[in-house]
Copies of this chain bind each other. A is one copy, B any other.
C-alpha cells in the first residue's frame, strides 16, 4: 500500500509533464505516445500531446538549415517544420531516415520554444536547453554513447585563481581506475567557446563518453581531462554561483581581453597540486573550440614551455585588441610568439575547421603563415560550419594523437 501511494504521488508529477496539466489523473488514459520514436530505418517520429495548441513546430539540426541574415552577414540556423495534429490532440512529425549523429532539437508551441516533454534527455548550451537525439550505428557516433566500458569520474571542482582574484569551478574527468591505480597521468586542458562554460564539453561535447570509449578501445592513453570556464568574470555556470539568478549574456566582462589567458597557469598549478599527474610539457595538452581555440593559441604561445600538444578547433585565431585595463601584452606579437613556440618543437600543433565556418579565412591565413615559416602542423577540414558536430569530431581525432 505504501509503495502504491508513493508510486501514485510520483505518477502525479509525471503526468504533469507528460500530458497537459489540467488533465484528469488516471493511469493509462489519454494518448500513449513516445517522443522521439526512432524507427527501424532511423526515421524518427516526434510527438507532442497538446490538444489546446494552435500551431506546433519542430526545429533541429537534422532538418535542412535555414539561413538568416544579420548585419550584412548570413548564418545557418536549424530548419523549422510544422507538426500535424490528429483527432486526439497529438501533434506529430516524422523525419527522413537519419544518419548516425547526436542531434539537438526543440519544439515550438504557439511561438514558444520548449524541450520535448517526453524526452528526458536534454542539454543546455548557452541559455538554450535542447532535447537530444542520438542515432548510433557508426563507429564515430557510438563514441558519444554511454557504452558498457569502464567509466571515468566526472567531478565539479573549485579552485582559487590568485591572478584573477576569484574562486572558480571547473570540470575534471579522471579515467577509470584513477582513484586506486597509484599512477601519474598526463593532462589535457579542453576549453569551450563563447557563451559556454565548464559544463559545455561534458554535456554537448560528450567528452566523458568519448574519453571512456577511446581509452577502452585502446585508441587513447588514459589521461585527465580538465574543462575550464573561460568566462573569467564568472565563478561558475548559471545556477552554480554566489551571484544567484543573474542571467548570462554574451556581453560578459573580461572575455577575450587577456585575463583568462594570463590567469591560466593558476589552473595548471592547481591541477598539478591536486591530482596525480605528470608535470612536464610532454604530458600537457591544450585545445579549445572557437573562443576556446583562441584562448588555447594565446595561452600556448605565451607559455611556450608549457604544452607539448596544441589543438585549435574552429578557432578564432586573429590577434585581438587587448583591453587597456587588462593584461596588454598577451595578444602582442602573435607571429613572433608562434615562431618561438615552434622553435621549441611541439609534439603536435593541430588545426581543425569546417569548410563553411565563418572563421575559415582567418584559419587559412594562419596556415599560410605556418606554411611560409615551415612550421609543421596537422590539418583537418570537415563539412559544415561552426557547430558541435564538428567539435565532437575534432575531439575524437585529436585525443588519440596525445601522449604517445
A contacts, CB < 8 Å to B? 1-3, 5-14, 16-18, 20-22, 25-26, 34, 36, 38, 48, 50-55, 57, 59, 68, 70-71, 73, 75, 77, 80, 106, 108-115, 117-122, 124-129, 132, 134, 136, 145-148, 150-151, 153-158, 167, 169, 176, 179-180, 193-195, 235-236, 238-242, 244-245, 247-251, 256, 273-275, 290-291, 294, 316, 318, 320, 358-359, 362, 386
Contacts and interface: CB of A to CB of B under 8 A. Distances in A.
Contact of A48 (B1, B112, B126, B148): B112
Nearest to A119: B245
Given A5-B358, A8-B70, A51 B153 contact: no
A156 B209 CA distance: 13
A152 to B, nearest CB: 8
A285 to B, nearest CB: 22
B6 A145 contact: no
Identical copies in the complex: 2
Nearest to A196: B10
A197 to B, nearest CB: 10
11 contacts: A3-B316, A12-B68, A13-B127, A14-B250, A16-B106, A25-B68, A26-B70, A112-B114, A121-B238, A146-B240, A158-B176
A3 B20 CA distance: 43
A77 to B, nearest CB: 6
A157 B219 CA distance: 23
B25 A126 contact: no
B20 A108 contact: yes
A151 B125 contact: no
Contacts of A10: 126, 193-195, 250
A234 B75 CA distance: 42
A124 B113 contact: no
Contacts of A155: 153-156
Contacts of A320: 2-3
A25 B70 contact: yes
A120 B7 CA distance: 30
Nearest to A48: B112
A155 B59 CA distance: 33
Nearest to A126: B13
A256 B3 contact: yes
A117 B113 contact: yes
Contact of A13 (B125, B156, B291): B125
B52 A316 contact: no
A9 B52 CA distance: 34
Contact of A128 (B16, B125, B294): B16
Nearest to A53: B110
A109 to B, nearest CB: 5
A122 B127 contact: no
A109 B108 contact: no
A281 to B, nearest CB: 24
**Most chain B beta carbons < 10 A, residue from A121, A145, A359:** A121
A120 B154 contact: no
A21 B113 contact: yes
A110 B6 contact: no
A13 B6 CA distance: 40
A107 to B, nearest CB: 8
Given A10-B194, A129-B17, A250-B7, A239 B120 contact: yes
Contacts of A110: 50, 52-54, 109-110
Contacts of A5: 73, 358-359
Given A14-B126, A120-B238, 5 more contacts: A6-B291, A8-B70, A13-B125, A53-B111, A180-B274
